[in-house]
Structure 1
Amino acid sequence: MARSIWSGYVNFGLVSVPVGLYSATQEHEIDFHQFQRGTSDRIRYKRVNERTGREVDYGKIVKGHEVGDGEYVIVEPDELDDIAPGRSRSLQIDTFVDLDEIDPIHFQKSYYLAPSDQENASSYALFRDALEKTNRAGIATFVMRGKEYLAAIRASGKVLVLATLFFADEIRDSTKEIGDLPVKSKADKQLKMAVDLIEAMSGEWRAAQYKDSYTERVKKLVESKHKGKDVVVTEEEPEATATTDLVSALRASVDAARARRAGGTKKSAAAKKSTAKKATTKKTAAKKTAARKKTAKKKAA
């Protein structure tokens, strides 16, 4: 069993539930080291004193915040721990909200919450089941590794999932970041076709059907270069659809999407029909076998 990366208590009202926090996700990107081109010399990073040019041990490094004109306030690690709310051991829930009310832009990273001991497993189960029944998420704050987090705690099957959230002031204003954006579309015909395309391409969310194809390509690139083979790139960069071609592109896309859906429906129907036929064949075979057994018994008698 994996070790928890944080442990403490989920607090709501006067109730405290001891829990441990575990990573719920892992990325599968390819690791690369850095080398000087044309050599096998690794590039290393060192913590260097900019005045003396000497390397400094990690244990001798403290943090400093600039307050203006090159002046810094130095802060020790234990000073940060001392001001952490609840000594970094409390997940304090302030309110419960409908999960659908949270804009997805706020979600950051997901973790599992598990009971930290079996003696309090029943209180964990009670909290989890209550969240599931009410379809609510508990909004909490907690401190981990010198940083305060906003979090949403929800039930997911047998486990509680904690998703860290961006605070409101961490979300950048789209207008300030991007500038002017297109006004509401007035092209009714094109809008209707775009809606038709979305409807034709709609389906159920199945996470397992999506694969990280880029990482697979990187693996093949590394393998090919290791074997001394040339790497051939066949995929071309897409081009923007011209406004004059938009209607025809939408129409063709809708027709193609509907054709794919129709093909999928036919395959599904054929598969069901085949399954039903096999079941009927098995029943018929079973009846014939039973009939033979009865005939054999009569003859024996």
Structure 2
Amino acid sequence: MHTMWKGSIQFGLVSIPIKMHAATEDKDVSFRSLHAKCHSPIKYEKVCPVCGEEVDKEELVKGYETTAGQFIIMEEEELKSIRSQSQDRAVEILDFINIDEIDPIYFNRSYYLGPNEGGTKAYALLRQALNDTRKAGIAKILIRSKEQLAVIRVFENTLLMETLHFPDEIRAAADVPNVPSEENIVKKELDTAKMLIEQLSEEFQPAKYEDEYRKKLLDLIEAKKNGEEVTSPEGPPKKDNVTDLMEALQASVDRNKKKTTKKTTKKRKTAPKTKVTS
């Protein structure tokens, strides 16, 4: 697993040397833009719209736009100075909290933390302490010139760091337009909705879900690669023309009852026969 960052976890006077690894990977299918005439990849060049000249990397400077077309130029040395004040390559744990207190909207990206040389014992100690207290550590870290708030917890016997959005990065839910404050809910509709939720409730099993669009896309690419004839897939089944809310809820409940009945019948048919011994 590729090491993307080296540093240490610090809490109190304890320092644990660690290596950081990406815990997730982007599996989106990406495409290159080609020239339709000759299928050559298109280049994207940096060109000044005023001078009309192609600009080399060495000729670029960073600017912060204050108003439209007005910029404050930031020198690289000035930015390096600010980074050096924060970049001591340490994940500093500030507080310990209950992980359930963090709303999922704050979570950003996940990283595995593994012990670096000489850090095995202290790593195992922190892991056990977090497990026993059922706590998580709130920390700060500088990643790619951006200070990040993060939470450190135990995941499958490994320390996991999840970066968090700062509070001022979360947009106010109150700004979402047309959200009803109160609505007169009919009891029968509510009871039916609850029944439907109960019917569809299961334990979370991540393995049962897959990216169907990506799978179809890769199947299509493989078929074209092998020179197979490609046919258009059938469209999704037409939805019932149900407009009334109560009617839609009841139809959903009835449909899921049939599915549940089929599953139960199938299980009974395939259940192994018990051997009777005298």
TM band (smaller chain): 0.7 to 0.9
Distance 1:71 1:137 in 2: 44
Change in Cα spacing, 1:87 to 1:48, as seen in structure 2 (3 Å) is: same
Distance 1:10 1:48 in 2: 44
Distance 2:166 2:61 in 1: 27
Q: Which amino acid aligns with 2:137?
A: G
- Larger CA Rg, structure 1 vs 2: 1
The answer to whether the 8 Å contact 2:223/2:230 transfers is yes
Residue deviations 1:149-205 (CA, integer Å, cap 9, x gap): 1111110122011111111111112332x3121334512111111111111111111
The answer to whether the 8 Å contact 2:141/2:149 transfers is yes
The answer to whether the 8 Å contact 1:139/1:150 transfers is yes
Distance 1:170 1:262 in 2: 47
The answer to whether the 8 Å contact 2:21/2:113 transfers is yes
What residue is the counterpart of 2:163 in the other structure? 164
Trace 1:85-164 onto structure 2 (pairs within 5 A): 85-117=85-117, 119-164=118-163
Q: 2:66 aligns to what SS in structure 1?
A: strand
- Residue 106 of structure 1 deviates from its aligned partner by 1.1
Q: Which amino acid aligns with 1:95?
A: D
Q: Which amino acid aligns with 1:179?
A: P
TM-score, scaled relative to structure 2: 0.86
Q: Which amino acid aligns with 1:150?
A: L
Structure 1 position 232 matched with structure 2 position 220:
no
Residue deviations 1:91-110 (CA, integer Å, cap 9, x gap): 12221221111111111111
Count of residues paired in the alignment? 275
Residue deviations 1:261-295 (CA, integer Å, cap 9, x gap): 45445655776x52865xx99xx9xxxxxxxxxxx
Q: 2:197 aligns to what SS in structure 1?
A: helix
Trace 1:244-283 onto structure 2 (pairs within 5 A): 244=244, 246-265=245-264, 274=272
Q: Which amino acid aligns with 1:181?
A: V
Q: Which moved more, 1:227-236 or 1:124-133?
A: 227-236
Percent identical pairs in the alignment equals 35
Q: 1:7 aligns to what SS in structure 2?
A: strand
Q: 2:272 aligns to what SS in structure 1?
A: helix
Q: Which amino acid aligns with 2:17?
A: P
Q: Which moved more, 1:15-24 or 1:233-242?
A: 233-242
Q: 1:3 aligns to what SS in structure 2?
A: coil
The answer to whether the 8 Å contact 1:20/1:113 transfers is yes
What residue is the counterpart of 1:216 in the other structure? 215
What residue is the counterpart of 2:191 in the other structure? 192
What residue is the counterpart of 2:178 in the other structure? 180
What residue is the counterpart of 1:299 in the other structure? none
Q: Which amino acid aligns with 1:13?
A: G
Q: 1:66 aligns to what SS in structure 2?
A: strand
Distance 2:164 2:241 in 1: 36
Distance 1:89 1:70 in 2: 36
Q: Which amino acid aligns with 1:113?
A: L
Q: 1:232 aligns to what SS in structure 2?
A: coil
Q: Which moved more, 1:46-55 or 1:210-219?
A: 46-55
Distance 1:265 1:219 in 2: 34
Q: 1:274 aligns to what SS in structure 2?
A: coil
- Residue 66 of structure 1 deviates from its aligned partner by 2.3
Distance 1:209 1:193 in 2: 26
TM-score, scaled relative to structure 1: 0.80
Distance 2:148 2:241 in 1: 42
Change in Cα spacing, 1:138 to 1:188, as seen in structure 2 (3 Å) is: same
